[in-house]
A and B are shown apart, each in its own frame.
Chain A
Amino acid sequence: MPVIEFENVAYSYGGGELLSDISVKLAPGSFHFLTGPSGSGKTTLMKLCYGALLPTAGHVTLFGRDARSLDRDDIAMTRRRIGVVHQDCQFLNHMSVAENIGLPLTVSGRHAETGGDDLTELLAWVGLANRADALPPELSGGERQRAALARAVIMSPDVVLADEPTGNVDWEMSQRLLRLLIELNKMGKTVLIATHDLGLIRATKAHVQARVLRIANRRIQLAGADL
């Protein structure tokens, strides 16, 4: 069963249709890139994947359930299984980086049982061990992206969605973030990365079997191996 499935999905904002007739299946453990020009609807499609938006036509199925049938609590539960890294990642600015990364555990009431070991390990994994007590506004762009990634995966979610995760960082840092995502995929997570950086996609394809979904003319096209 695909973890996320789009069936003839369309989405329109007040004006006109942004996405139409989109059918995609994300199988468990798959690695997908989502690409397309700016404003083509990449972020909208990502939002449809975690229930922040509902399709105006067609069906989005998350873990086997129609997104329209989910109430607000169901959506909260679904998001515990989907880690999201935003292009412009937001944190709770009054809490330390470590507390922010542990926030998904806190809000799901699992803070006590998992304890601090996982958190310390994860901080080291994303290279933020020495920034644990810093406040989010003190972090650089790259550090924010890594903190957001750590927060997205701390619940060990089934799916990781990353929207332009390398948008604000230099090439070296983007390679590092990508390696983290590839590592997560090798651990069995389904990964979907929205990016318009074709170089990043090429660099990834050397390490993992990634499929590329391209949005053009409001529709999804499966890009070939030509990239």
Chain B
Amino acid sequence: MNMFQFAIAALWTGDRQADRVVPPSGFTAQLTLFAAGTMAFLAVFALAFSLASGRLATIWGQELARTATIRVVAPIDQRAAQTEAALRILETTKGVASARALTDAEQQALLTPWFGAELAIDALPVPRLIEIVEDNEGLDPEGLRLRLAAEVPGAVLDNHSRWRAPLVQAASRLKLLGWISTILITATLAAMVTLAANAALSANAQVIAVLRLVGATDSYIAQAFIRRFTFRALSGAATGTVLGVLAMLLLPSSDDVGGFLTGLGFEGRDWLAPVLIPFLAGAVAFAATGAAAKRTLKELA
């Protein structure tokens, strides 16, 4: 049985006696708890940030992908005919759930912020807008453009992808940043536990020498340290996670802002992420202490 398997087995069977062979250490224990707690607290936010950015990217991508617009730019006398023609094409286009031309009143409402309410829209060659709502399959913009070009020369399809792409990309970058932060936090925890474990191993060099003299194997000695640091990281991280989640629940809810944005928080299955943090911290401490012990013990007679 190698050291790792032995340590796992011993960790769960819980050899209290083995735990006792290493003297209790007050202050460093508190530091490990504190470090694990802080890292877990930060990890809650990094994960929330990452998951929220992911949701944002999805929402922006989906909401905007579900709609498209056709502008019919034609001389006033041909505008109605071309709009009719475009609508007929849309009726037979796959992926279109519904399509309708905006009324004069609606177009006027859209233009009011720029031209003022007194403008007589009929007097201007304002292009007619057709709003398309896509069904779940989505439409093929290139195919539609070709058909429109052949039959309605004045129609221009805008499927919003041009300005949607950078938004979605920005949200994806934010998501990536969140994940990188989470990874860095995990690595920092590993570094802190390694330092603490190394300090504990050096401080207990005499204890280790006695244990080796009476026939203790390296894995037995390592296990005493691994168990201790794993439980410290686990309990510290559990506390930090609980505090982090509480702090998050105190943030203002996203409902006030509307559906286009999303709150910084966990939704649905996302709640699994903070629950996993303490266990991840425990696993990191387990691996870091194991590696530190293996290295240190090899150098001792």
Q: Which residues of chain A have a CB within 8 Å of any CB of chain B?
A: 52-53, 72-73, 76-77, 79-80, 84, 86, 90-95, 99, 103-104, 106-108, 111, 151, 155
Contact = CB atoms under 8 A, between A and B. Distances in A.
16 contacts: A53-B301, A72-B217, A72-B298, A73-B218, A76-B212, A76-B218, A77-B215, A79-B215, A86-B213, A91-B210, A92-B21, A93-B23, A95-B21, A103-B210, A107-B220, A108-B216
B269 interface: no
B24 to A, nearest CB: 7
Interface of B: 17-18, 20-21, 23-24, 206-207, 209-220, 297-298, 301
Given A73-B217, A84-B213, A108-B216, 15 more contacts: A72-B218, A72-B297, A76-B217, A77-B215, A79-B212, A90-B206, A90-B209, A92-B21, A93-B23, A95-B20, A106-B18, A106-B21, A107-B18, A107-B211, A107-B215
A107 B211 CA distance: 8
Nearest to A93: B23
B23 A107 contact: no
Contacts of A86: 213
Nearest to B204: A92
A99 B218 CA distance: 20
Contacts of A106: 17-18, 21
A86 to B, nearest CB: 8
A169 B220 CA distance: 34
A79 B301 contact: no
Contacts of A94: 23-24
A111 B20 CA distance: 14
B213 A79 contact: yes
Contacts of A111: 17
B209 A79 contact: no
Nearest to A54: B301
Contacts of A90: 206, 209-210, 213
A205 to B, nearest CB: 29
